[in-house]
Amino acid sequence: MGALTEKSQEDKVWEAIADPTKQVLFFTAPSIKATLGEAFDMPIGTNVEGKMAAAIKRLGANVKAFNMDFTADLTIIEEANELVQRIKNGGTLPMFTSCCPGWVKFVEHYYPEFLPNLSTCKSPQAMFGAVLKGYYCQKNGIDPKDVFVVSVIPCTAKKFEATRPQLRSDENYDDVDVALTTRELARMIKRAAINFTDLPEEDFDAPFNKATGGGIIFGATGGVLEAALRTAARLLDGDFKKIDFEEVRGPEAVREVTYEVAGVKINVAVTSGLGNARMLLEKIKKGEANYQMVEIMACPGGCINGGGQPTRSDSVSNYVDYKALRSKALYDLDKNSELRVCEESPIIKMVYDEFFETPGAEKAHHYLHTSYVARSKYYT
């Protein structure tokens, strides 16, 4: 799957920027704000969200920069509702997270019997493409063929994900035209002769410029599960007050925790790295583990350690816990966020009121949910 190096698609983006008939719409994954600065010799874990938004908008007059943390929030709304429905209605459990394309493809190849366990929710990348070519284009009277959607992502597997036909909300085009890694965005900024470190802090473009702390922590292992628990707990118990589920955070190979909400015991597990994933799946197959929800990320440590992130010298990797520093940046932003539970986002309320109606509704399902394919172990 080309997990360590990317096939560059920068030229395709430059061509779109040079096309006066196109609107080029970028959005950046939650982890990028904590890693992009390293490509410009800034300290590991520096939050460069404001500089990143400013740099992207300077790539061309027809460029907008949006915040993918918004669709991390959106993913959680759909995913938490799906989990609660499975718990209440005897659905397939445990429910596995589905936002990591490396993990999804691993299941499709090696554990197809677990495909019904995968959440049907698209990833935040895929959801944003659907939002832009669906809701955004309709609201602004734009033909989807006149927008060029660019995601900035931490992993090269997202490039494959962007081409999956199962993720198209319209059979005539992919919702995401190009997925760029953090490294590719850094190269584009340098090619444009933008002095990144001296840029002023700027906001992302409206209307997709804000998100909650729940969306921000998607980039660290355990973050998706924690955000889902914040929302699912309130769906089960409207008076539930706990926000920090710190027990699912950390570097352990597998983290297992039981929570009780409204008289319901919820067993959860978190792991990252496909070796650990295989071990956990085998335990579930043998009946040695019983969970309601499991988060799995293909890259150890989650997206902050994705294959498309800035590379480090051995002198750094061997002596500095860069994964912890990057994760801390995200958790600090979450801790200091005014809104920390995904459904509190006014942008989330806006898109449901104006387009998707309610979580799990027919329209929401069309644009925000997907299906999977059992694949041979030997072919893509």
pTM > 0.85: yes
Say yes or no to pLDDT of 3 above 70: no
pLDDT in tens, 331-354: 999 999 999 999 999 999 999 999
In the chain, the amino acid numbered 283 is K
Q: Which domains does the chain have, with CATH numbers?
A: 12-306+323-368 (3.40.50.1780)
pLDDT in tens, 305-321: 999 999 988 878 888 99
Q: What percent of the chain has pLDDT over 70?
A: 98
Average pLDDT over residues 211-234: 97
Average pLDDT over residues 195-223: 98
Six token digits for residue 194: 């933008």
pLDDT in tens, 159-169: 999 999 999 99
Across the chain, what does the average pLDDT equal? 96
pLDDT at 185: 98
SS (H, E, C) the chain: CCCCCCCCCHHHHHHHHHCCCCEEEEEECHHHHHCHHHHHCCCCCCCCHHHHHHHHHCCCCCEEEEECHHHHHHHHHHHHHHHHHHHHHCCCCCEECCCCHHHHHHHHHHCHHHHHHECCECCHHHHHHHHHHHHHHHHHCCCHHHEEEEEEECCCHHHHHCCCHHHCCECCECCCCEEEEHHHHHHHHHHCCCCHHHCCCCCCCCCCCCCCHHHHHHHCCCHHHHHHHHHHHHHHCCCCCCCCCHHHCCCCCEEEEEEEECCEEEEEEEEECHHHHHHHHHHHHCCCCCCCEEEEECCCCCHHHCCCCCCCCHHHHCCCCHHHHHHHHHHHHHHCCCCCCHHHCHHHHHHHHHHHCCCCCHHHHHHHECCCCCCCCCCC
Six token digits for residue 355: 């387009």
